[in-house]
């Protein structure tokens, strides 16, 4: 007899907080629609805060429990991803109210949808079993399709939503088919059993493995499955873009690393995924960066930039799989953490200067910002320089750790390509700084207005926090890395 115990429920409480809060917001909105908006922001923040603190606490306490008959495992790894995702989502939520109010769509559903999606993300890194993995993926994806189209009267938003959905569902089709083949090959849905399928039915196994991998690569925006990324990023309301660029970006890595390391393993016969990922990493970095060069819209540029960053993270995953070292995987987790901070900040600045009738998205729109709003420009400069990878900002150390482990693993040509790419990327990040600092209305021929419409304390708090984090965690990366090592070693404890 299968039953759900109290231990199961308390074990997944990081996810449970979020689901309960999401349902509560929906009820609240039905019962008390007048007051539900601001209240739901606070409920969301409280739920995310609870999940974040619970995850961090359990991560440091070394909690490692297997729940629901082995379908879910809340270990250091799952808790670390849960913490990163909750942090990312908190930053995205903080940037939302101002923008949604300006667009007249400040609705409680927004927060409910977001919470459901985050709930799926938390479970995604915790899944130990294919059904769970699939359900978590759907739970995290479907609300995001809705969020992308949240500004319902906006043509771009709708188009972005449609494209994201079509390609997303298409990818899901491949993923589910892959899961079916893997299940057929291995005879079991548990990740640890998958490897056995390679010997039992190699044809089915390799096809299934590829299709599953394709599903993940789509989610992280790797070339050639990246084409939805810039369109969806550009068309989505900016707070949703923020959410997509950090939380929806970081979460799939949680499931992907686990399936690769625990499910497929590093055995040369099974580890065919490594050479394929090398090529994909190179393509992803190069295509992302080269295309970003010619963009004029910051949101779209950041979409391509996020593709390029996926490439860097893939380099880190490859290094960790080659070295089979928790330290190398910790570098990837640290990178994700830093990446979340930088992206949240960059999009936050765009939201800060959005107007009622018009977004501030083009690089040109930021012309002369430094003269009008020196602090906002300084913050944006910090984010951009960190994305470029300039020491002593956190972005530099993220890259430095990943690249140094990759060198150790013997991926020297890959690292050289990655460094070349990050040099190319300096050009387009710098373009933003040049516009802000070195150009004025006299260059563009129209006066830019930088006034805060719909002042939001949430947003300002988010901006200062991220900038502080980039400066502080660049210099004091040790505590963060120690946590990441803890998480990574718990994954390697289960990996073959």
Partner 1 sequence: MFLLRYIVLPPLIALLANLLLGRWWGRKTTATLACGSVLLSFLVSLRDSYYLYMITLPETRVASDVMFTWLSIGRFEIPVEFVLDPLSGAMCLIITGVGFLIHLYSVGYMWHDPGFRRFFVYLNLFIVFMLLLVLADNLLLLFVGWEGVGLCSYLLIGFWHADMKNASAGKKAFVVNRIGDLGFLIGLLLVFAAFNTLSVSEMQEIISDAIARHLPLPLAPLAATVICLCLFVGACGKSAQIPLYVWLPDAMAGPTPVSALIHAATMVTAGVYMIARLHFLYAFSPFASGVVAVVGAATAIYAAIIGLAQNDIKKVLAYSTVSQLGYMFLAVGVGAYTFGIFHLATHAFFKALLFLGSGSVIHALSGEQDLRKMGGLCRRLPVTFWTFLAGTLAIAGVWPLAGFFSKDEILIAARLAETPLISGRALFAVGLSAAFLTAFYMGRLFVMAFLGPCRVEADKQHHIHESPWTMTVPLIVLALLSAVGGAAGVYHHSFARWLSPLYGAPDAAPPAVEHFVMAASLAVAFGGLALSFLFYLQAPTLPDRLARTAGWLYRWVAEKFYVDELYEWIVVRPVYYVGVAGQAFDKHVVDRAVNWTGGGLKGAGFLLSFFQSGNVGTYAIWFLIGVSILLHVMR
Partner 2 sequence: MITLQEYLSVGALLFTVGLLIVLFRQNAISILMGIELMLNAANINFVAFSNALGGLTGQVLAIFVVVAAAAEAAVAIAIIVLLYQNLGTVDVEKARNLNG
Q: Applying CB under 8 A, which residues contact partner 1?
A: 162-163, 166-167, 170-171, 174, 206-207, 209-211, 213-214, 217-218, 223-228, 230-231, 272-273, 275-276, 283, 286-287, 290-291, 293-294, 327, 331, 390-392, 397, 401, 403-404, 407-408, 415-416, 419-420, 423-424, 426-427, 430, 434, 437-440, 443, 475-478, 481
Residue 454 lies near partner 2 (rule: CB under 8 A): no
209 binds, among partner 2, partner 1, none (CB under 5 to 8 A by kind): partner 1
112 binds, among partner 1, partner 2, none (CB under 5 to 8 A by kind): none
Residue 32 or 438: the one with the smaller Cβ distance to partner 1 is: 438
Residue 211 or 331: the one with the smaller Cβ distance to partner 2 is: 211
Output the smallest distance, CB 69 to partner 2, in A. Answer: 11
For residue 74, the cross-strand partners are 65
Output the smallest distance, CB 490 to partner 2, in A. Answer: 26
104 binds, among partner 1, partner 2, none (CB under 5 to 8 A by kind): none
For residue 65, the cross-strand partners are 74
Helical (H) or strand (E) element with 74: strand 72-74
CA dist 439 and 364 (Å) reads 9
Residue 242 lies near partner 2 (rule: CB under 8 A): no
Contacts of partner 2 in 179-198 (CB under 8 A): 179-181, 183-184, 187-189
Q: How far is CA 50 from CA 47, 394, 424, 491, in A?
A: 5, 26, 41, 24
Output the smallest distance, CB 162 to partner 1, in A. Answer: 7
66 SS3 class: strand
Residue 37 or 163: the one with the smaller Cβ distance to partner 2 is: 163
Point out which span in 86-94, 170-178, 282-290, 452-460 binds partner 2 (CB under 8 A).
Answer: 170-178
Asked if 311 contacts 225 with a C-beta cutoff of 8 angstroms, the reply is no
Residue 8 or 75: the one with the smaller Cβ distance to partner 2 is: 8
CA dist 250 and 109 (Å) reads 23
Cα 294 from chain centre? 24
416 binds, among partner 1, partner 2, none (CB under 5 to 8 A by kind): partner 1
390 binds, among partner 1, partner 2, none (CB under 5 to 8 A by kind): partner 1
Helices (H), 104-237: 108-126, 130-148, 155-186, 196-200, 202-220, 228-235
DSSP notation for 282-319: HHHHHHHHHHHHT--BHHHHHHHHHHHHHHHHHHHHHH
- One residue of 7, 155, 445, 479 binding partner 2 per CB under 8 A: 155
Residue 83 lies near partner 2 (rule: CB under 8 A): no
Residue 72 lies near partner 2 (rule: CB under 8 A): no
107 binds, among partner 2, partner 1, none (CB under 5 to 8 A by kind): none
Output the smallest distance, CB 370 to partner 2, in A. Answer: 28
| Region for residue 449 given its phi and psi (left: phi exceeds 0; alpha: psi -120 to 50; beta: otherwise) | beta
Q: What is the C-alpha radius of gyration for the chain, rounded to an integer number of angstroms?
A: 22
| Region for residue 69 given its phi and psi (left: phi exceeds 0; alpha: psi -120 to 50; beta: otherwise) | left
Contacts of partner 2 in 246-305 (CB under 8 A): 294-295, 300
Asked if 324 contacts 493 with a C-beta cutoff of 8 angstroms, the reply is no
Point out which span in 54-62, 117-125, 174-182, 484-492 binds partner 2 (CB under 8 A).
Answer: 174-182
Report phi then psi at 486, rounded to 5: -55, -50
Residue 199 lies near partner 2 (rule: CB under 8 A): no
Output the smallest distance, CB 308 to partner 2, in A. Answer: 17
Point out which span in 130-138, 257-265, 282-290, 348-356 binds partner 2 (CB under 8 A).
Answer: 130-138
Which residue do the tokens 């590829």 mark?
A: 210
Output the smallest distance, CB 173 to partner 2, in A. Answer: 3
CA dist 254 and 248 (Å) reads 11
126-155: burial string, b at 16+ Cβ within 10 Å, e else: bbbbbebbbbbbebbbbbbbbbbbbbeebe
Asked if 28 contacts 40 with a C-beta cutoff of 8 angstroms, the reply is yes
Residues 6+ apart with CB under 8 A from 58: 14, 74, 79
Residue 6 or 294: the one with the smaller Cβ distance to partner 2 is: 294
Output the smallest distance, CB 293 to partner 2, in A. Answer: 12
Output the smallest distance, CB 363 to partner 1, in A. Answer: 14
Instruction: Please report, as ranges, the residues that interact with partner 2 according to CB under 8 A.
Output: 130-131, 134-135, 138, 142, 145-146, 149, 152-156, 158-163, 165-166, 169-170, 172-174, 176-177, 179-181, 183-184, 187-189, 230-231, 234-235, 294-295, 300
């Amino acid at each position: 007899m299968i039953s759900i115990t109290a231990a199961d429920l308390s074990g997944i409480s990081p996810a449970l907080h979020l689901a309960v809060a999401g349902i509560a917001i929906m009820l609240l909105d039905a019962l008390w629609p007048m007051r539900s908006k601001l209240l739901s922001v606070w409920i969301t923040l409280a739920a995310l805060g609870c999940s974040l603190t619970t995850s961090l606490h359990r991560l440091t306490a070394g909690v490692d429990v297997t729940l629901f008959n082995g379908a879910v495992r809340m270990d250091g790894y799952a808790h670390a991803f849960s913490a990163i995702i909750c942090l990312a989502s908190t930053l995205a939520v903080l940037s939302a109210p101002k923008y949604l109010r300006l667009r007249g769509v400040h609705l409680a559903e927004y927060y409910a949808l977001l919470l459901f999606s985050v709930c799926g993300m938390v479970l995604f890194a915790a899944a130990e079993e294919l059904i769970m993995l699939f359900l978590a993926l759907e739970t995290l994806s479907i609300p995001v399709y809705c969020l992308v189209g949240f500004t319902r009267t906006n043509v771009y938003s709708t188009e972005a939503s449609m494209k994201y959905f079509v390609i997303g569902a298409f990818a899901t089709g491949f993923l589910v088919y892959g899961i079916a083949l893997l299940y057929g090959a291995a005879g079991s849905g548990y990740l640890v059993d998958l490897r056995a399928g390679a010997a039992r039915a190699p044809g089915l196994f390799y096809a299934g493995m590829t299709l599953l991998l394709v599903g993940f690569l789509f989610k992280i925006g790797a070339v050639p499955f990246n084409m939805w990324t810039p369109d969806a990023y550009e068309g989505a309301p900016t707070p949703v873009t923020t959410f997509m660029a950090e939380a929806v970006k970081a979460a799939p890595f949680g499931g992907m690393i686990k399936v690769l390391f625990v499910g497929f393993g590093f055995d040369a016969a099974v580890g065919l995924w490594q050479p394929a990922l090398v090529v994909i990493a190179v393509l992803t970095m190069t295509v992302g960066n080269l295309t970003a060069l010619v963009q004029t819209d910051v949101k779209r540029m950041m979409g391509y930039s996020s593709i390029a960053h996926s490439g860097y993270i893939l380099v880190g995953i490859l290094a960790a799989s080659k070295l089979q070292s928790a330290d190398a995987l910790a570098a990837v987790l640290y990178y994700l953490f830093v990446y979340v901070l930088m992206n949240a900040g960059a999009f936050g600045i765009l939201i800060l200067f959005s107007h009622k009738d018009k977004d501030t998205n083009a690089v040109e729109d930021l012309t002369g910002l430094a003269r009008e709003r020196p602090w906002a420009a300084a913050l944006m400069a910090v984010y951009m320089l960190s994305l470029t990878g300039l020491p002593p900002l956190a972005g530099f150390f993220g890259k430095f750790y990943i690249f140094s482990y990759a060198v150790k693993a013997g991926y020297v040509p890959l690292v050289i390509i990655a460094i070349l790419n990050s040099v190319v990327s300096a050009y387009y990040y710098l373009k933003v700084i040049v516009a802000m600092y070195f150009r004025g209305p006299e260059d563009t021929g129209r006066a830019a207005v930088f006034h805060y419409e719909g002042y939001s304390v949430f947003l300002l708090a988010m901006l200062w926090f991220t900038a502080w984090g980039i400066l502080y965690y660049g210099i004091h990366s040790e505590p963060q890395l120690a946590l990441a090592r803890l998480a990574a070693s718990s994954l390697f404890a289960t990996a073959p």
